[in-house]
Amino acid sequence: MSEVEVIYLGPDDSSAAIRERLKGVPGRRVVVVVPKNCPGLDSLVDLKLLARQVLASEKEVAIVTRDRELKELSRGVGFRTFSSVKSAQQAKWKVSPALHRDSAGILAERRLTGRPIPVPIQASTSGMGEAVVFSLAFVAMLVFVGLTLIVLVPSATVTLEPEAYPISSTFTVTASPDVDSVDFVSLRVPVRVVEMELVGSEQMPTTAVRDEPDAKAAGEVVFTNRRTQATTVLSDTIVTTSAGTTIRFRTIEPVTLPAAVGARGRAPIEAIEPGPSGNVPAFSINRVEGSMDRQVNVINVTPTEGGGMSQVRYVTNADKEQLRQSSLRQLREEGYDAFVAQLTGEEFLPPESLMTFVLSETYDKFPDEVADALGLHMRALVRGSVIDREDVEALGWRMLQLEVRDGFQLLTEEARYQVEEIGDVNYDGSLTFQFRADGVTWVEFDEADIREGVRGQSVSFAEEYLARHLSLVGEPSVQVSPEWWGRVPWLPFRIAVVVVSGQGGAK
């Protein structure tokens, strides 16, 4: 097989420019790659002019295009067509049906089926009556209408399920505010940093408990006058014990002692400090504080009692830290909800990217202070990293394409993407994360070849042909409309090729 030359047309190449480029190619076999909407080959006239030059130069020319209409027109004038350069280079070129000229010197359409295309008969009216002319015209019209119905009315749908092969790729992506667009080489994507200042207050019960002095001890003392004059002991006069730790009491009511040495009077007392330390035995309170010490003596003839302890809650450093973390979480969640509400398009905000910076915090209680609850007022800055899902999916699609084997194609509808694990999050909002892309591939079919192989055939023959020539999971399906027609239409554009996957996706 001689080497195949390849000509890549530009989007602005004219018909004359294309023919001139073809003239300068030395090889005998030439593949012309036509881009979408190429003005130089967008009509049947352009193709016929190109075919005329090919016929004169004795070259073999094939057209590479994905444009269905251009493929049909190209085949109609005798060119072989392919969907890719690779398939054109690997194919064994069949000898193209001869291109021939009609009486006007213009290329006629390719006779693909070996059958002549019916041409309306030009009936001469010489020597015929008007009735004969009318009859022939009517017959010609019926033939034309019949052929039109035969060609255009039937349609067919070919459904194929090729063997599918799953592929996957897991890689580490870096999202950075310093990147403007997706970097497919270093696996980096842009990130948009958002931040918001929030204020919140929260209160929580204290958790620590301890015993604290509660009730004050109470009792009665007897005062003895040391003077000959009447002596009044006022309320709030302090009397104390003298042995061991000094326990202080105060009188609750005043008492007046008669004017005689040794005169006595009783007064109720209570401990200055609450707690069991105020419970003292009889005859232990024997001192009077202040100037009254020279005027009276004091003694408790009965013990004091009633002083006790009770359990109370108090603030600890652990309470402060717990309340601090709870407030941070609350502000973090509030910030996350606010950021998500502002997202546009396909943006997403990984919760792990959120960072919270405390600007101020004020507690309403101190450590060790007795309190049933602790309150905190906090002001904080919440910062997050917003990523465009289309960017990471484009990166995932590119990584999946690297896993596709030759002769296979990747199904767009079956691609799945997932952020698996967020790594380091930096102060500037950049972060790394593990990203997984899963996809499905199947053998690449040339739909033009499929239509060429089944057109004009019976349904059973077409299904047998497809099962024999293609690698499929199940049996191919060929449905013809109307059902009674029984044959695949001749015109390729009346044949729809539907490729489905096992998951229900269709191409």
Does residue 259 fall inside a structural domain?
Answer: yes
User: Do 74 and 57 have their domain in common?
Assistant: yes
User: Do 245 and 324 have their domain in common?
Assistant: no
Residue where the block lists tokens 């596709």: 404
Q: pLDDT tens digits for the chain (507 residues)?
A: 457 888 888 888 888 888 888 888 887 888 888 888 888 888 888 888 888 888 888 788 889 888 888 888 888 888 888 888 878 887 776 544 444 444 334 343 333 333 333 333 344 444 445 666 666 777 777 766 655 555 557 899 999 888 888 999 999 999 999 999 999 999 999 999 999 999 999 999 999 999 888 899 999 999 999 999 999 999 999 999 998 899 999 999 999 999 999 999 999 999 999 999 999 999 999 999 998 999 999 999 999 999 988 889 999 999 999 999 999 999 999 999 999 999 998 999 999 999 999 999 999 999 999 999 999 999 999 999 999 999 999 999 999 999 998 888 888 888 999 998 999 999 999 999 999 999 988 888 888 889 998 998 898 898 888 888 887 888 899 999 888 888 999 898 999 998 887 654 555
User: Do 198 and 341 have their domain in common?
Assistant: yes
User: Do 476 and 413 have their domain in common?
Assistant: no
Structure-block tokens of residue 507: 């191409």
The 10s digit of each residue's pLDDT in 181-225 is 999 999 999 999 999 999 999 999 999 999 888 899 999 999 999
Does residue 140 fall inside a structural domain?
Answer: no
H-helix segments, 359-444: 389-401
User: Do 201 and 317 have their domain in common?
Assistant: yes
User: Do 370 and 254 have their domain in common?
Assistant: no
Does residue 326 fall inside a structural domain?
Answer: yes
CA torsion 332-334-337-339 (nearest 10°) is -70
Whole-number pLDDT of residue 267: 96
Structure-block tokens of residue 451: 């239509």
Does residue 118 fall inside a structural domain?
Answer: no
User: Do 334 and 416 have their domain in common?
Assistant: yes
Number of domains the chain contains: 4
Q: Which residues contact 156 (CB under 8 A, 6 or more apart)?
A: 454, 462, 478, 479, 480, 481, 488, 489, 494, 495, 496
Structure-block tokens of residue 332: 């973090």
Domain boundary among 285, 307, 329: 307
| DSSP 8-state assignment for residue 231 | E
User: Do 222 and 206 have their domain in common?
Assistant: no
Strand partners, 233: 255
User: Do 199 and 236 have their domain in common?
Assistant: no
Domain boundary among 388, 403, 435: 435
Q: Among candidates 305, 223, 229, which has minimal Cα distance to 266?
A: 223
The domain in which residue 33 lies consists of 4-90
C-alpha span between 423 and 385 (Å, rounded): 13
User: Do 180 and 301 have their domain in common?
Assistant: no
In this structure, which amino acid lies at residue 327? S
